[in-house]
Amino acid sequence: MDFGFVLSQSVTQAIGVTAIIYCLAAMGVNMQFGYAGLLNFGQVAFVAVGAYSIGVIVVTLGMNLWLAILVGLLGAIALALILGIPTLRLRADYLAIVTIAASEIIRLVVRSIALRDTLGGVNGINGKMGQEFHDLNPFPQDISLPFLAFTRQDLWVACVGWALVALLTLGVWLLVRSPWGRVIKGIREDEHAVVSLGKNTYWYKMQALAIGGMLGAIGGIVWAIAKQSVQPDNFVPDVTFFAYTIVLLGGAARVFGPIAGTIIFWFLLVFVGELLNQAIAAGWIDFLQPTDVGPIRFILVGLGLMALMIFRPQGIFGDRKELALDGR
């Protein structure tokens, strides 16, 4: 068994491009759920809006990348308004129902035959997305270290991506420590008390939904630029639930929770999968097939998450006094 390969793959994925995408999506969920108490089960819809904005504007229409990024962010705000206006005055479960339905509607619309010429249909959009960005790549070649391996392109995206995550994390930290952030956390704890103080909680919740959606859209933008492809069936509800898992793992309502949760989640997921693959190949496990590894790794990680929720419901780095899931 090659433990070096297992560890290398695990570390690379834990800090790689996919981890950055899910970290950004989880930061949006943390803003909506962790700080504002909004149950958005359709975060993947915002990710899809960001990704398809790049694909349509850059590849289909042949326009500028920076315009596509702006369109993606504005699209996330528009989607937040569409979802929030009819639901945020109602109970939290209405938002959850509407958002998960909207995410599936968007996925089915972008894969429809009628819009194939613009959105690519089931084959999605493929092509050079963000060539202006990749032309700035200062790295001359791929890197291969004992426990880390990146292609030249992925290394550039990872460096810029984590720098972007750090910048956005600083912005979230400043935001939640501001008077606006205190109102948002007050709404999460007792909305009626905040209303009695004269605050328009509906407008504050709308802002939190839009900010979280924009963070998700940025994840979608990174997705399109890094992978040079946007496929409709990549934007399934699993993306949202992975983002929630990351938030719960790192600790909801903690600024660094999504970062820590992302690294731990992807490291464990890849480590368990690669370890099982190596054990099957070496003949140590003869009752499993390689095709069984995918479901089993999710089962094992899921059992670990269940244990975490039983014994530490606020997450690894969460604060029980500020937010505990069993006290919500």
Choice among 205-209, 258-262, 322-326 with the minimum mean pLDDT: 322-326
| Six token digits for residue 136 | 């700035």
Q: Dihedral of the CA atoms 40, 12, 315, 45 (nearest 10)?
A: 0
Query: Which tokens sit at 212?
Result: 């979280």
pLDDT number for residue 179? 95
Q: Are 172 and 27 in contact (CB under 8 A)?
A: yes
Nearest to 102 by CA among 50, 44, 141: 44
Phi/psi for 324 (5° steps) reads -130, 130
pTM for the model stands at: 0.93
| Portion of the chain with pLDDT greater than 90, in percent | 66
Q: Is residue 165 part of a domain?
A: yes
Q: What is the pLDDT of residue 33?
A: 93
Of residues 130, 161, 318, 303, the one with CA closest to residue 224: 130
In a domain, residue 145? The reply is no
Other C-beta atoms within 10 Å of 95: how many?
23
The DSSP H or E segment spanning 229 is strand 229-230
CB contact at 8 A, 28 and 46: yes
Inside any domain, residue 138? no
pLDDT digits (tens, 9 = 90+) for 166-194: 999 999 999 999 999 999 999 998 899 99
Nearest to 316 by CA among 223, 256, 250: 250
Tell me what pLDDT residue 322 has. 64
Identify the H or E element spanning 144. strand 143-145
Assign 61 to helix, strand or coil. coil
Contact (Cβ atoms closer than 8 angstroms) between residue 45 and residue 102: yes
Any domain includes 83: yes
Contacts of 122 (CB under 8 A, 6+ apart): 111, 232, 233
* pLDDT tens digits, 88-125: 988 778 899 999 999 999 999 999 988 898 999 999 99
Looking at the domain assignment, is residue 140 inside a domain?
no
Q: What is the pLDDT of residue 326?
A: 43
* Average confidence (pLDDT) over 194-217: 95
Of the pLDDT bands very low, low, confident and very high (cuts 50, 70, 90), residue 324 is: very low
What residue numbers bound the domain in which 14 lies? Answer: 3-130+150-327
pLDDT of 301: 81
Number of domains in the chain: 1
The CATH number covering residue 84 comes to 1.10.3470
- Per 3-state DSSP, the chain is made up of helix, strand and coil in percentages (nearest 5) of 75, 5, 25
Give domain status of residue 78, yes or no: yes
Q: Are strands 143-145 and 229-230 parallel, antiparallel or unpaired?
A: unpaired
In a domain, 59, yes or no: yes
Is 142 among the domain residues?
Answer: no
pLDDT band at 313 (very low <50, low <70, confident <90, very high): confident
Does the structure show a pLDDT above 90 at 2? no
| 321 — pLDDT class (breaks 50, 70, 90) | low
